Amino acid sequence: MKTASHSEAALEETMESITPSQANVHPALRRIVLTGFMGSGKTTLGRLIAARLGWNFLDLDHYIESRTGLSVPDIFALHGEPHFRRLESTALVSALGKSNTVIALGGGTPEILTNRLLLEQTPATATIFLDAPFSVLFDRCVLQGISRPVLADPTLAELRFAQRQPVYRALAHHTIDTSAIEANEAVEAMVIALTIAPKRTR
Ligand code: S3P
């Protein structure tokens, strides 16, 4: 995605222009998981590809927020990151139980071994890594203005980015570089990837 973020109006417009079509992805596929660092477009593109396929969309952070009644920054502030990670793992188990669902992970979800094993072992699930350089992601996050505890210290955030890159890569069946393409191009790239590589669909 070239721009920092899609405004809600632009997103609505893009979603309205999308025709649901189940025919394009491998028929055995039941879940599509989007992974990548903060600002990589997991939520924006997740909504779009779900609309494109006529599937449900689940954003793991929002799911945790609706289950706890607390915002993610509040969970970090009140209970600490380890507690957030436990909630995240429980939410992931529940999310992976759903069919015909696009799941946007949190940027840190794959850091936890249990979560990686869950993702690797859940059948009929394709994981897509939305990649971009740290500078691009950081600028997008700043422009989005969403409170993200892990971004509070940019130097530490960049370290985490470097540590997570190999983890995202190892987990992914497909990688899409989102730094220089529009959202609708990224969606089409995902649909094509999910069509031509059914063997890599667990
Ligand atoms: C986090 C990313 C956030 C959210 C939490 C921690 C991380 O999700 O889960 O603030 O550790 O990278 P997004 O990637 O959707 O911003």
Q: What is the pLDDT of residues 21-52, one digit of tens each?
A: 544 788 889 999 999 999 999 999 999 999 99
Are the C-beta atoms of residues 22 and 100 closer than 8 Å to each other?
no
95 lines ligand 1 (CB under 6 A): no
Average pLDDT over residues 82-103: 98
Cα distance between residue 172 and residue 128, in whole Å: 5
pLDDT digits (tens, 9 = 90+) for 180-195: 999 999 999 999 999 8
The single residue listed with the structure tokens 């396929």 is 53
- Residue spans of the domains in the chain: they are 31-193
8 has pLDDT over 90: no
Probe ligand 1: pick from 5, 148, 153, 164, max atoms within 8 Å of CB?
148
Output the CATH code of domain 31-193: 3.40.50.300
pLDDT tens per residue, range 111-149: 999 999 999 999 999 999 999 999 999 999 999 888 899
Q: Is 149 in the pocket of ligand 1 (CB under 6 A)?
A: yes
φ, ψ dihedrals at 106, nearest 5°:
-80, 160
* Residue whose tokens read 């660092």: 37
Tokens of 14: 């893009």
Residue in the structure block whose two tokens are 């089409």 = 188
Q: CA torsion angle for 136, 14, 34, 150 (degrees, to 10)?
A: 40
* 149-183 CB burial, b ≥16 within 10 A, e <16: ebbeeeeebbebbeebeebbeebbbbbbebbebeb
Ligand 1, atom nearest to 81 Cα = 6
Confirm if 174 and 190 have CB atoms less than 8 A apart. yes
Give residue 4's pLDDT band: very low, low, confident or very high (50, 70, 90): very low
Give the model's pLDDT for residue 17. Answer: 55
